[in-house]
Chain A
Amino acid sequence: MLRSLTLATLLGAGLAVGGLAQAQDSADELRVGMSGGYFPFTFVRQDVLQGFEVDVMEAVAEVLDVEVNFVTANFSGLFGMLESGRIDTIANQITITEEREAKYLFTAPYVYDGAQVVTRRGNDEVSGVEDLRGKQVAVNLGSNYEQLLRELPFADEIDIRTYESNIEQDTALGRVDAFVMDRVSASQVIQETPLPLQLAGQPFSEIRNALPFRDDEAGREWRERVDAALATLREQGRLAEISERWFGTDITRP
């Protein structure tokens, strides 16, 4: 036991030291943070990270002729990683908000979408955002949907529940009355999964997603390069192509 413990320790030490010498800021490697838990934008099947965001960022890297390195972490940790310089950007359907714009530099939007209320199938009490008065509504921690709900004139009457993950599951189980997510991924969840859910009414706010970068020298440079690459992909029709593949529709245009 002692010997295997020593071995494990040595392995661990090697791992930790190897990690310490981790690649720093480099102009040849784009480090992209994502949750890996947001179907169909970023998710894992059979140990393979995939999704719309993965394809977009790989295409961006191809245009720029750089390496792309995906870093997955809980969503609530992603902005901390960006802030502390561990990643260069976040590709996780990040919505442009005033607060984020004040702090980060965004590329031009590459996804246009809307906020959508989703309920358990058969729940006809809620048919839109107005019906959320007096209801329990789940949103993801750190997402902007919580903000959107709080800006509603009747926000006081909504019982907003903030989740780390699995809001679809808790709505399907009936623990909360509804959840709010973007329309595109909500439709995908309903279509692709066995969870008993339905869209409740029309989207209630336009959402524009883009890639945020730190407002420092390296960040500004990356933003320019990535923005140019996205424009190229849009011109070549590749952005639309990737969208068609995942969503059957072009979500990259307003």
Chain B
Amino acid sequence: MAILDVGYMVELLPILLRYLPLTLQMAALGMVLALALACALAVVRVLRIPGLNGATLLFISFFRGTPLLVQLFLFYYGLPQIFSALTQINGITAAIMGLTLHFAAYMAESIRAAIVGVDRSQTEAALAIGMTRGQLMRRIVLPQATRVAVPTLMNYFIDMIKATSLAFTLGVTELMGATQKEAAGSFLYFEAFITVALLYWGIVELLAWLQRRLEARLNEAYQR
């Protein structure tokens, strides 16, 4: 059994770090877009908006029911064969699109659950004292729903960061793609993959720390 080549890992780390911004940018942009879409989908579901409700259910069903990798291949390699203009979409854009649609489907359901989780009696009370529907949502429902939704949404964000590692199949050299290529050049598979694993882990831990701080802020009102 060969000894762990620590020197190689130390050399590799700064090289891999060059690809970290791309990974984080894809995840951050994917998260913002997914969150916006998920909110819209959740509103449609909560209010059961006629016409849109069925379409939303179909959307969630499809994007939750098929693997992300299949969706990415579908967007990037499949659709351009039918609509040639879609060839213009590059790998990064396709990856962000895929992440957005895939995770929006999941997040819509957790946002919906957080909204309907706010006790109905509060809605009734708010309406009884003369609040409008808008005031009710802004002042009563959403602040409480946010507190409930944050932990699960952070979960999806963490998952999304790791899901960006699929982008190399679309020709995007992000963190994982760079690692695979370096591993092929050195044949030090263990060293290369343990380095990238620690890197992902470190980022996720950093996020978990931010999440704890955010949750503490949101919980302030509930502390005695």
Q: Which residues of A contact B (CB under 8 A)?
A: 1, 5, 8-9, 11-13, 15-16, 19-20, 22, 24, 33, 35-39, 43-47, 49-50, 71-74, 76-77, 80-81, 83-86, 165-166, 168-169, 189, 192-195
Contact = CB atoms under 8 A, between A and B. Distances in A.
A89 to B, nearest CB: 14
A204 to B, nearest CB: 25
14 contacts: A8-B28, A12-B96, A16-B92, A19-B90, A20-B88, A36-B173, A47-B15, A47-B18, A49-B181, A71-B171, A72-B171, A165-B184, A166-B189, A168-B187
A165 B180 contact: yes
B156 interface: no
A85 B80 contact: yes
A77 B73 CA distance: 9
Given A9-B28, A12-B29, A19 B182 contact: no
Q: How would you classify the secondary structure of chain B's contact residues: helix, strand, loop or mixed? A: helix
Given A8-B29, A33-B171, A165-B184, 14 more contacts: A12-B29, A36-B177, A45-B182, A45-B185, A50-B185, A73-B169, A74-B180, A77-B169, A80-B76, A80-B77, A84-B87, A165-B180, A168-B187, A194-B187
Nearest to B24: A8
A33 B84 CA distance: 20
Interface of B: 2, 11, 15, 18, 21-22, 24-26, 28-29, 32, 73, 76-77, 80-81, 84, 87-93, 96, 168-173, 177-178, 180-187, 189, 210, 214
Contacts of B11: 46
Q: Which 10 A-B pairs have the closest CB atoms?
A: A12-B29, A73-B171, A80-B77, A37-B184, A44-B181, A193-B187, A36-B181, A12-B25, A43-B185, A45-B185
Contacts of A43: 181, 184-185
Nearest to B87: A85
A121 to B, nearest CB: 14
A22 B178 CA distance: 21
A81 B11 CA distance: 32
Nearest to B18: A47
Q: How would you classify the secondary structure of chain A's contact residues: helix, strand, loop or mixed? A: mixed
Contacts of A76: 169
B83 to A, nearest CB: 11
Contacts of B22: 15
Contact of A83 (B28, B81, B91, B183): B81
